[in-house]
Amino acid sequence: VELAESGGGSVQPGGSTTVSCAASGSITEISPTGWYRQVSGKERELIAGFTTDGRTWYAESVKGRFTAFKDNAKNAVSLQMNSLQPGDTAVYYCSFKYGMKTIWGQGTQVTVSS
């Protein structure tokens, strides 16, 4: 199973972008867990998590600005990011649970600057 991310890129402050992620390969026992981001020199942090009761949890730093979507039928997720700020500059990763393992997308750079 592989996760392929797309989207992101360079955005001006206040702008928007979307990062998408889709699973391919032998897709059984797979479910999306959420989106993480990693700022250079810091640990990877969870910013949006899909809970088992069907809701989505958001970190305070992105709540109200980011929205995570999932399409279970297509084994795909996306992260819509609005009102972006320079502090959102990071590499964004999708995460799925595959059996007992956690698997990751390759990472997508989002840079917010004027």
For 71-100, the pLDDT digits (tens) are: 988 999 999 999 999 999 999 999 999 989
Taken as a whole, the chain contains a residue count of 114
Residue 27 pLDDT: 73
- Per-residue DSSP letters for the chain? -EEEEEE-EEE-TT--EEEEEEEESS--SEEEEEEEEE-TTS--EEEEEE-TTS-EEE-TTTTTTEEEEEETTTTEEEEEE-S--GGG-EEEEEEEEETTEEEE---EEEEE--
Q: What is the mean pLDDT of the chain?
A: 95
Residue 29 pLDDT: 82
Residue 46: band (very low, low, confident or very high) from pLDDT cuts 50, 70, 90: very high
Q: Say yes or no to pLDDT of 45 above 90.
A: yes
